[in-house]
């Protein structure tokens, strides 16, 4: 910025106050364009993460290099999640793809005191009663990993290829309702993406609008 000398009328280069710089930087980083730039992108490397599961075991995306990985954001009490578990839709897909060597990780980003947050033992009980066939249920109470993936709803699905590249993100299907009967004519988008990838084809619908309950992040 330039400052005019009141006595001489000449302009000189002035220094921006640290506070002004900080405010400008904060505004830039919080702008919609900056936030979009930080979000995961199809065809780019999926955000790295390391989380503990309900058994206390550690899982990092890097340890599954060479395998397809599915990430499913989970909230046991969300009616949309209940639709897909009570019908067997998600458990069936989990088992189908695990049989093909896919690693299917369910992630709970519900903060303590919010819907969907339980102690690990309670999560294990819910996992069993819901008939889940996920490889593991990972704990993300700080929401750090959820925000890195811009996970917005439960469920919100991500498919990562063996090279760690994001190939699909969005809804599990194209019928954004909590009604089980709507599964009859729904296109299972995450499942379709995996079918195409396993066939050596490009994913025809790489992104879709996720639907469900909002992820219950801290703050």
Strand pairing partners for 158? Answer: 71, 169
- The two three-digit tokens of residue 92, written as one number: 């069936």
Check residue 164 and give its pLDDT. Answer: 98
Q: Whole-angstrom Cα distance, residue 81 to residue 41?
A: 25
Q: pTM for the whole thing?
A: 0.83
Residue pair 180/83 in contact by the 8 Å Cβ criterion: yes
Q: How high does pLDDT run on average in the chain?
A: 88
Percent of residues in the chain assigned helix, strand, coil, to nearest 5:
30, 20, 45
Comparing 29-43, 98-112, 143-157, 173-187, the range with the smallest average pLDDT is: 29-43
Residue pair 70/159 in contact by the 8 Å Cβ criterion: yes
- Write phi, then psi, for 104 (nearest 5 degrees): -115, 110
Strand 153-154, strand 157-160: pairing: unpaired
Residues 59-72 have pLDDT tens digits of 999 999 999 999 99
pLDDT-based confidence at residue 39 (cuts at 50, 70, 90): confident
Check residue 202 and give its pLDDT. Answer: 97
């Amino acid at each position: 910025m330039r400052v005019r000398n009141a006595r001489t009328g000449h302009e000189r280069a002035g220094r921006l106050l640290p506070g002004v710089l900080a405010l400008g930087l904060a505004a830039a980083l919080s702008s919609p364009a900056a936030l979009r730039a930080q979000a995961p992108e199809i065809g780019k490397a999926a955000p790295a993460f390391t989380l503990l599961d309900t058994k206390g075991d550690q899982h990092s995306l890097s340890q599954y290099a060479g395998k397809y990985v599915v990430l499913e954001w989970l909230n046991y009490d969300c009616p949309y999640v209940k639709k897909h578990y009570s019908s067997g839709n998600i458990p069936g897909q989990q088992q189908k793809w695990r049989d093909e060597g896919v690693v299917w990780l369910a992630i709970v980003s519900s903060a303590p005191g919010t819907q969907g947050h339980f102690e690990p033992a309670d999560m294990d009980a819910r996992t069993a009663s819901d008939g889940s066939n996920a490889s593991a249920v990972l704990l993300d109470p700080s929401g750090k990993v959820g925000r890195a993936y811009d996970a917005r709803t439960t469920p919100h699905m991500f498919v990562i290829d063996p090279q760690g590249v994001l190939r699909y993100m969005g809804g599990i299907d194209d019928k954004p309702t909590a009604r089980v009967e709507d599964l009859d004519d729904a296109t299972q988008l995450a499942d379709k993406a995996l079918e195409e990838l396993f066939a050596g084809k490009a994913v025809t619908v790489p992104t879709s609008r996720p639907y469900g309950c909002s992820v219950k992040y801290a703050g």
